[in-house]
Every structure is written in structure tokens, then in C-alpha cells.
Chain A
Amino acid sequence: MQLSLFTALALLVLTATGFLAGRTRALAIGAREEGRLHSLPNYHGYFVALWTGLPAFALLALYAVTGTMVVNTLALGELSRASEPLQQRYEAILATDEDHRAATASVERLEAEIRMLRAEADAIIASEGPHSEALAPLRARQEERLFDQDDARFVITSREAAIAGIVLEAADADVADARARAGFEYRRLPPEQRELFVADARALAFADTLASRDTPELRAAAEAFVPRQQALAWGVSLAALALAAGGLAFGRSRVTRQFRARNRVEWMVSAALMLASAIAILTTLGIVLSLLFESLRFFASIDWRVQDFLFGTQWSPQTAIRPGQIGQSGSFGAVPLFAGTGLIMLIAMLVAAPVGLFAAIYLSEYADSRFRAWAKPVLEILAGVPTVVYGFFALLTVGPLLRDFALFLGYEDAVTQSALAAGLVMGVMIIPFVSSLSDDVINAVPQSLRDGAYAMGATKSETIRHVVFPAALPGIVGALLLAISRAIGETMIVVMAAGQAANLTANPLESVTTITVQIVMLLTGDQEFNSPKTLSAFALGLVLFVLTLILNIIALRVVQRYREKYD
């Protein structure tokens, strides 16, 4: 880090030098030769500076992003090489181990049987539907096989651990062997623990954070990291400086009287701007591709029963652990989530639509400018409050209040985390959203329409209800659609205040769960990245994205049309 910081500073100096060099040379040429320079000296300066700085900084940036990964790969490669003898001894012992061989064979056999059972089950489902009675015995048998398979797997791992222990025991405790042991240990770690191993080794090597453990193996591993890190850092720094110097020389050599430095520089500037605007597209592309890709993996893991996901009414992803289990896709029925999302959205809109609309009407039609001047910022504050604050408010103030009120009214099953609490607070959050969008829309209604109504002897409210509102209706609908999309995508309030129970209910006093809540539940805490459980979060994300995208597109269209009508 220190070194790259120093290099960056040096590069800055070089770049500045490049600028001066280009400029001076251009000035000198201008003074010496006949005729005007094509470009101002400053542009020659920029040109040389760009040649000096750009490639070198690009290299440095590449190093910043990939450096750690490269060092890790190199160091781990070294560890793995060092551990080769241990690994071979381990594999040799393993190959002669009876228990291990037997267990491996039985895992394979059970695998085949499970596949056959699945095929049978699929055939039954295809002919008799997913609720057929005939599935039950199959399911039971499969359960049994899976159980046996787990047993066999346990035997395998425990044999492997025992043999690894023997191998390690045999290895000496000197430093060279510590490195071999480290590599051996790393190879045997399950993938999710490898990250921690690397992090600890790096922490010991570079002392920038605290390591969670400190063992001779980790120390040995750390020693493999240090020289590689240093070599790479020095190499990159020198290469960057060399690139900069080369760029400077090259750029400077291009400076002549006719050289179109300005056009070159401007071309680069507009190329950079174009690149910047490509980011927006890349983001969308990234969202679509990543969601789609992970969702496809999810659907593959539930055997493409997409309809079970979209129309199933049973959501219990925590119980669906093993891939390939019969009927397992049934526990990924997302209808309770859609229903919960809809219920909370409805409650929120019941609050936000009338209050937001009336607030907008009052502000744009009744209030004088002085009142508007302070009421609008107050509403904006409501919009600026972070959603996690609303969540806290819903959880600790509104939720208990509603529960006590429901208990007081004699509703015994009242809970703190309810659809109503989350919906109400979300509604409050959306009020300023509705009101500011509607305010724009109402202000866009031409004054001549109002004048026409007033001139007929309409009162203010009649003018608003009969003329302004119908005229603004498309825009208001657009605003409400955007608000709905906002309510559907809102996360923190529901995570904190709506509960996690996947109830399929229309009772606002019960706990419900939403798409966003489940995404958070599935992706926080410990996770195995490839399990259907984790992947299902991406499928939910895809649904959410598509839903809000459709709403946004319709809303933006409607508002656009409306604007065109009155502009």
C-alpha cells in the first residue's frame, strides 16, 4: 500500500512534468519555426501528460483491483507445491483404506438409486400430477437413501480427517515442513473456510488487521505471501514508472508544429465521456444478466418447476436443503411472499395516496407562497429520513401501539410485527414521494383550464375536482404507479416491522413476509453460495426487478405522454 501510494505520487509528478515538457517544447517550436502552431501549447502539454499518466495509472488501477488475487494465487500455488509430498502420502494411504473405499462406493451406488427414484417420481408427476398418492412411498424411500448417503459421507470425511492426522503427525515440525503442512491444511479445507485461512495468513503477513488465529502453519503460509507481495508491488511500481517515462518520451516526440494535439486530446475526452455513459447501460446489463444467470441456476436446481415457484403456496426454503429431493421445489412456492408484498403495498398506498394527493392539492392550489416555502421542505425531510429509521419507528413505536390497540379491541392474536404496522409506516414514507410527483403534475395543468372553470362560477374545489384533477389524472396515475413500485421494492421497513412468517393471509394484523424480506433473510447470515436456498434469493430479485421495471416503464410512459400533451 505504502509503495503504491508513493508510486502514485511519483506518477502524478511525472504527469505534471509531461504536461510541462509538452508545453515547453510546443512553445519552443512556436518560437523557432515559421507559421502558427496548430494547437495551443497547453494542448500539447495535455497530450503528453495523458500519454505519461494514462497507461501507468491504468496499470496501477489494474494492480489495485487484481493485485491481491494475483499474490494469493501465487502464494497458494507455492504452498500447494510444497505440500505435494504430504498430499501424495495422504492419497497413497487413502487409496489403501478399506473403509474409505467402501464408503465411496456406497455413496455412488446410493446416488444412482436416488436418481432412479427421482426419475420414477417425475414419471408419476407427469402422469398423475404433483399431489399423487403414489409419490409418498417414493419420497420415503428417497429419504432413507439420502440418510444412508449422509452416513457414508460422514465415514468418508472422518476417515480422511484421521488419515490427514496421521500424515501430519509424521511430518516434522521444522519450518520447511510447516509450509508443507500449511499447504496440506489449505487443500483440505472446505471452500468457505479457505477464505478465512487466506485472510488470517494475510493478516499475519502484513499486520494490517488482527488475525483470528495464530498457528505455526499460518505463520508459514504468511511467509509465502510476503515476498510475492513485495515482488509484485515493486514490479508493478517499476513497470508503471517505466511506462510513464516511455509515454512521456513518446508523447513529447509527437509534438510538432502541425501536430493536431487539441483534436487528439478532445477525442480522448469525448471517448472518456462516452465510456462514462456506457456504465449506466453496463449496470442494467449487469443486473439483468446476474439475476437471470443465478435464477436459471436456481430453476435448474428445482428441476425447472418454474410454475411451482410462481404459483406454489408453500414457502419454507430453510427446510429444502438437499438438491434433487423429491417434491422439494414445493417449498419454494413464492405466492405467500407476493401476497404479503401486495398486502403491505396496499396498506401503504391507502395511506400515501390520499394524504399525498391532498397535500399536493393543498400546496399547489390553496397554500400561499409563504406557507409553501416551509411546508415543502418539511415534506422533503420526511422523504430524506433513511428507511432504517422508519423501520425502527415501526418496530418500536407503531407496532406495539397497534398491537395494544388490537388487544384493547379484543383481538387476542395481535402481534408487534404486523402487515399493518409496516404498511402504515411505509405509507408515511411514500407520502412525500406521491405529493411531490403529483405537485409537479398538477402544476403542469395549464392555468387557462382553471380560469375557464372559475369564469363559469365554479368554486375552487369544484375547479380542482372537475377540471384540474381529470386533466392531471394520467400524470397522477403515473405518480401512483411509481409510488407502488417504490413500495414493492422497499426493504428495511418490512425487514424490521413486518415479520418473517410466510403467512398467506389478508389479515393486516398478522405477520406477513415480502419478497424483499426473504431476499435479505436468505442472503444474510452464513450461506453456502450454491445451495438452492441462496439462489432462490436471486429468483426473487428477478421477480422484483421485472415487476418494478414494468411499473416504471408504464409510469414513465404515462407521465411522458401527459407532459407532451400540455407542453
Chain B
Amino acid sequence: MTDAPRPIADAVRQRLARRHRAEGRFRMFGVGAIVLAIAFLAVLIGSIIAQSTGAFTTYTLTLPITIEREVADPRGDMSEASLRRGSYNQLIQRALQAELPAASSRTELRDLFSLYSGLNAAPVMRRVVADPSLIGQEISVSMPVNHEIDLYLKGITVREDRQPGEGAITMDADGDEVRLTGEMPVFARFVSRIRAQAEDERQEALSRAARAQAQAGMAESRDAREAALAAERRAFADAERFETIIDPETSILLGARTASLLIGVNGGVISVSAVSPDGRTAQGSVLLPLESDAASSDWTEWVIETPPAARRVGDLQAIYARTLEERGLIDQRFNTRLFLNADSREPELAGVMGAFIGSILTMLVTMLLAVPIGVGTAIYLEEFAPKTRLTGFIEVNINNLAAVPSIVFGLLGLAVFINAFGLPRSAPLVGGMVLALMTLPTVIISSRAALRAVPPSIREAALGVGASKTQAVFQHVLPLAMPGILTGSIIGLAQALGETAPLLMIGMVAFVADAPSLGLAGLTQPSTVMPVQVFLWSGASERAFEMRTAAAILVLLTLMILFNAVAIYLRRRFERRW
């Protein structure tokens, strides 16, 4: 018996390599998808952590403040009403002025007092009202510096460079004007730096002009062409301005669109307005008075590279802030206000506490409504309800409700709870009710799954020993299903905790400067919740709010992780296989 030739093996082998390559490619797509998803998550979390870092510390101004009687107690009777009318901000201002007596003109004082927000007077007032014996005493008051100053001191918004100067300089004062002369080209380093910067800017302006020209050529309408030509002219004008700085013959004038040069010498600071092209002499004005006019070789070249027009912190403010920092009155601390304060218009005073309490109240309402009703529904449908058309309809209905967009629940809340029932807007009570309706399907579906997982033998055993249906369900089935029900409920609540859209509909987007009280009364007070706070802050224009938003997100995520961890723990701890 001989074999007929078997050609399949060879035929198959021919294509095998190609098929395995296809297999590899397909597998790579799968790996790629997972990697992509995980990378997204990593980038998301990473970018938020990176954005939040600046928010966890804050530069804090600490001043010894004397509570002067006539300012704190205008009526002079030490009554609470009188103490509340006291002008505590004036006390802070006096203390600050005492630290920097050099600030005397109107503009100087304005810059000095803008280092902090007047809202910081309120805590001082509360301290005095709580303890009137402080009057006449000196107390130490800490307050966060203005957010722009904070960002400047952290080096986030402003580029600056402080280096010891080389070589001696002499100063010839003429009123506030000072002429600085170096024994050698002491400002040469600055001159070359600012020229390089100007050269970059000029190139940039020229390329902008070229782009505008190209656009003008391609413009479809007359208006568009006009606009492009105007842009071109502006760009050329810019370029020209920078040329005067680059020109090695003319002296360099410093202004709103160039870097600033400050000279710290003899305990004072001079702001330079013009530098000779050779870098040997400079013209400036005194911003912080010098102790003497003596020539000195111990001076600081302080360059603020970000031009004044592009920053929110003036030279004078920078000088005051740095001076106070050097004296140890301003230092960087952990930002407790971010966690303990309610919202505020001033970023440095804003915190998540109000939203946090709002979230707690809202979640309480949601939980008290959604869990009993959801579990009750699940028990009814799973254990009691006859399988009729009606119960079938309820089932379909619940499944659909689970997929209804959350914002629709918000519309329901607005139309029914607020407009029809007349419940208050912005209140945790209504928010909790809306979120409860939204969470209900999740709770019902997971509770039903948990009940279904309890084997029928348990019910039969209970019924077999003469228990009624209700007893069998409540005494035997429900306890066994409890872990599953709890897990599902917690996951539903975690979802509700992160929900924003429906709450916007019922007015929980209001700015709320006071945390609602943690009690029954708080349920109807205007408040907001964590995710809405994130939304509100993310829309604020201040840069400082941006990092606080990221920090608030981290707090929110921590809460969510906590919720989910509890759910996972419960699932692991009580997981039972039948």
C-alpha cells in the first residue's frame, strides 16, 4: 500500500509565513489599543498633576499687627456690632507701611497694598470679635499674597534673572533720576542679552509680516485683504521698533515691551530706563531709596525678562515682594486654604471646602433616596412581582432610564422640582433628588443582579421550613445579596458624585462664598458641589485658578477612588460563589 501524494501540507506551508505576519499585525493592533488607552489615562492624570503642583503651596505674608483701639472699635463701646464695623484692613495697611516706609506716594502705596487682598481683613475681624482682649495688643497675622504675586514668586508667570554685578558703579543722583557709570562696560552682558532677544522678536515680526502678505495675496474678499494688509503693516512697525534696539549706535531705551533692568545697590533699587550702546553708562530712576550714593562694586543685576506689558506684576510690586521675602516676612507654605476655605473671587483665598460640604449633603440626599427606593424596586421586581406585561414594561423602562443622558434629568428637576414644586434653586436637596433619580437605574440593575445570584435553593429552604415569602426574602435572601447591593449602590453614588451637567440645570453653578452648614438647614441653602466647582474654576480667567482647578480635580479623583476602593473591598471581602 503506497500513499497518494498529499499536497495540502505544502500548499498550506506556502502561505504560512504571510498568515503569521498578519496574525502578528492583528495582535499589535490589540496591544496598541490597550497601550493607547492606558497612555491616555497616564497623560490625563499626569497633566493634571503637573498643572496642580503650583496650587499646593502659597507665598504667605506674615505681619505683626497692632490692633489699635480707635480703628477696631469705632463706636468705642466694645460691643460686637462696633467691633464688626472696625476697619481692619487699615490696620494691615499700617503694619505693611511700617515695614516699607519708603512707599509713600499714592502709586507706591497702591502697589504695596496690592500685595494682598482686602478680604484678608475678615479673619482678623473674626479673631478680634471672638477675643476682644486682643485690642491694644500686637498679633501676628498670616495671609496669602495676591495670586499674581504668588505666581511671580514661584517663577511661573515671569522670567527673571538676578546675578551679582561685576565691577564698580558710581551713581550721580539728580532728584529721582540717577546716572549710573561703570568703571568698565558693566552693562554689556545685559546689552547683548536684550539685543539677542530683540533680534528674535524682529525675525518673528518679519515672518509674521510675510505670512500676512501671503494671506493678503490669497484673500477672497476685500475686507479680508484689508485686514491682512493692516496686519502686515503692524508687523513691519514692530520689526522696526526692534531694529532701534539692535542698532549698535543708538542707546537702548527700555519700555513696556522690553525686558526690565533693575539695579539693586546700597540697600535700594534703581530701575534703568536707558543704557548706552557700549554698556558703560545707564540712566534710571530710584524705586527703592538708596542708603547712600557712594560708589559700590557690590550690586545686583536684576533682569526681569518678561516685558511689563506681558506680565501682571509691576516692577515696583516685584521689588516690594522680593524685599519682604528677603526679610522673611513672605515665605512659601502649604496651602491649607485650598482645603479649608469656601469659594472666593480671589484665587489665593479660594478653597474647595464649600463644594465639599455641598457634595456631602447632596450625596446624603441621593443615598437616602436612591438606595432604599432602588433596592425596594429590585426586591419587588425580582422576588414579588408576577411576570406580567406591566413588570416587563417597568424593566424595559429601567433599562432605558439607565441610558438617558444625565442632562435630561436636570431638565426634569428644573421643570418639576423647581418650577412645579417650588423647591429652592441651587440647593443640595434638589441636587440630591435629581441625582437620585439618575442613580436609581444603576442601583436597581445591580441589586437585581445580586438578588438573582442568590441560588433558589436558599429561598426554597426558607419557604420549606414555613417562612412566608416576605420572611424568606428579608431574612434569608437579602442578607446574602447585601454585599452585591452595597457594591452596586456605591458605584452608582460614585457616578453621582462626579456628575455635573444636571446640577447646572438646577442652578448649582452659583458663586457661593460661604460653605453651607453641615446639617438639615444646609440642605436648602445655596451651594455647589465638587465637580461643579471644577467647572466654575476652569472658566475663570486667572491663571492661578487654572492650577487650583487641577488641584480640585485631584481632590475629586481621590474621593472617587476612595468610593471605588470601598466598593472593590466589599466585593472582594464578601464575594461568594455558589
A/B: CB atoms within 8 Å of each other: yes
Residues of A within 8 A of B (CB): 1, 5, 65, 68-69, 208-210, 262, 265-266, 269-270, 272-277, 279-281, 283-284, 286-287, 290-291, 293-294, 354-359, 361-363, 365-367, 375, 378-379, 381-382, 384-393, 395-397, 412, 428, 431-432, 435, 457, 459-462, 464-465, 482, 485-486, 488-492, 495-496, 516, 519-520, 523-524, 529, 537-538, 541, 544-545, 548-549, 552-553, 556
**B538 and A283 within 8 A (CB):** no
Contacts of B313 in A (CB 8 A): none
A290's nearest neighbour on chain B, judged by CB, is B415
Contacts of B407 in A (CB 8 A): 489, 491, 516, 519-520, 541, 544
Apart from A283-B437, A389-B498, A491-B500, 10 more pairs, CB < 8 Å: A68-B524, A277-B376, A280-B440, A280-B441, A286-B412, A287-B404, A291-B415, A354-B33, A378-B41, A489-B405
Assembled-state Cα–Cα distance A482/B408 (Å): 16
Contacts of B19 in A (CB 8 A): 459, 462
Contacts known (A266-B468, A279-B440, A388-B531); A460 close to B404, Cβ less than 8 A:
no
**B538 and A537 within 8 A (CB):** no
B494's nearest neighbour on chain A, judged by CB, is A384
Closest chain-B Cβ to A75's Cβ sits at a distance in Å of 15
Assembled-state Cα–Cα distance A389/B557 (Å): 9
Contacts known (A209-B525, A544-B408, A545-B404); A277 close to B381, Cβ less than 8 A:
yes
**B557 and A210 within 8 A (CB):** no
Contacts known (A378-B38, A389-B557, A492-B500); A395 close to B538, Cβ less than 8 A:
yes
Contacts of B394 in A (CB 8 A): 277, 280-281
**B405 and A548 within 8 A (CB):** yes
**B34 and A363 within 8 A (CB):** yes
Contact of B380 among A208, A270, A524 (CB under 8 A): A270
The 3 closest A-B pairs by CB, nearest first: A489-B405, A362-B30, A386-B498
Contact of A538 among B26, B415, B557 (CB under 8 A): B415
Binds A, one of B44-52, B108-116, B245-253, B451-459: B44-52
Interface string of B482-503 (1 = CB under 8 A from A): 0000000000001101111100
**A280 and B397 within 8 A (CB):** yes
Contacts known (A520-B501, A523-B505); A273 close to B379, Cβ less than 8 A:
yes
Contact of A489 among B37, B406, B469, B549 (CB under 8 A): B406
**B31 and A362 within 8 A (CB):** yes
Residues of B within 8 A of A (CB): 12, 19-20, 22-23, 25-27, 29-34, 36-38, 40-41, 43-44, 47-48, 51, 211, 215, 372-374, 376-377, 379-381, 384-385, 393-394, 396-401, 403-409, 411-412, 414-416, 419-423, 437, 440-441, 444, 468-470, 474, 494-495, 497-501, 504-505, 507, 509, 514, 517, 520-521, 524-525, 531-532, 534-535, 538-539, 546, 549-550, 553, 556-557, 560, 564
**B538 and A392 within 8 A (CB):** yes
**B34 and A524 within 8 A (CB):** no
Assembled-state Cα–Cα distance A470/B268 (Å): 80
Contact of B403 among A367, A486, A520 (CB under 8 A): A486
Contact of B412 among A1, A287, A489, A492 (CB under 8 A): A287
Assembled-state Cα–Cα distance A176/B59 (Å): 55
**A355 and B411 within 8 A (CB):** no
**B520 and A387 within 8 A (CB):** no
Assembled-state Cα–Cα distance A362/B33 (Å): 8
Assembled-state Cα–Cα distance A548/B405 (Å): 8
Assembled-state Cα–Cα distance A45/B12 (Å): 80
**A290 and B27 within 8 A (CB):** no
Contacts known (A359-B37, A386-B499, A520-B407); A552 close to B400, Cβ less than 8 A:
yes
**A273 and B380 within 8 A (CB):** yes
Can you sample 16 A-B contacts with CB below 8 Å? Answer: A266-B468, A273-B384, A280-B394, A291-B411, A366-B27, A382-B37, A384-B494, A386-B556, A388-B500, A388-B531, A388-B534, A459-B23, A488-B405, A541-B407, A541-B411, A544-B405
Assembled-state Cα–Cα distance A490/B500 (Å): 11
Mostly helix, strand, loop or mixed at chain A's interface?
A: helix
**A355 and B557 within 8 A (CB):** no
Assembled-state Cα–Cα distance A354/B29 (Å): 9
Contacts of A291 in B (CB 8 A): 408, 411-412, 415
**A496 and B535 within 8 A (CB):** yes
Contacts of B23 in A (CB 8 A): 459-462
Contacts of A486 in B (CB 8 A): 403, 405
A458's nearest neighbour on chain B, judged by CB, is B19
B422's nearest neighbour on chain A, judged by CB, is A69
**A396 and B546 within 8 A (CB):** yes
**B33 and A392 within 8 A (CB):** no
**B411 and A492 within 8 A (CB):** no
**B34 and A359 within 8 A (CB):** yes
Contact of A457 among B12, B397, B534 (CB under 8 A): B12
Contacts known (A277-B394, A386-B531, A386-B556); A283 close to B501, Cβ less than 8 A:
no
Assembled-state Cα–Cα distance A489/B546 (Å): 27
Contacts of B406 in A (CB 8 A): 489, 491
**B520 and A269 within 8 A (CB):** no
Contacts known (A279-B373, A366-B27, A389-B556); A290 close to B504, Cβ less than 8 A:
no
Contacts of A519 in B (CB 8 A): 407, 411, 505
Closest chain-B Cβ to A547's Cβ sits at a distance in Å of 9
Most chain B C-beta atoms within 10 Å of own C-beta, residue among A65, A265, A520, A544:
A520
Assembled-state Cα–Cα distance A209/B521 (Å): 9
Contacts known (A462-B19, A523-B504); A387 close to B404, Cβ less than 8 A:
no
Contact of A492 among B20, B38, B372, B535 (CB under 8 A): B535
Contact of B557 among A367, A385, A552 (CB under 8 A): A385
Assembled-state Cα–Cα distance A482/B385 (Å): 28
**A382 and B535 within 8 A (CB):** no
Contacts of A283 in B (CB 8 A): 401, 412, 437, 440
**B33 and A358 within 8 A (CB):** yes
Assembled-state Cα–Cα distance A486/B495 (Å): 15
Assembled-state Cα–Cα distance A431/B35 (Å): 12
Closest chain-B Cβ to A368's Cβ sits at a distance in Å of 13
Assembled-state Cα–Cα distance A265/B412 (Å): 35
Contacts of A549 in B (CB 8 A): 400, 404
Assembled-state Cα–Cα distance A392/B547 (Å): 11
**A541 and B408 within 8 A (CB):** yes
Assembled-state Cα–Cα distance A276/B372 (Å): 8
Contacts of A393 in B (CB 8 A): 44, 47-48
Contacts of A270 in B (CB 8 A): 380, 384, 470
**B422 and A491 within 8 A (CB):** no
Assembled-state Cα–Cα distance A460/B27 (Å): 9
Contacts of B468 in A (CB 8 A): 262, 266
A279's nearest neighbour on chain B, judged by CB, is B373
Contact of B538 among A272, A385, A396, A457 (CB under 8 A): A396
A64's nearest neighbour on chain B, judged by CB, is B520
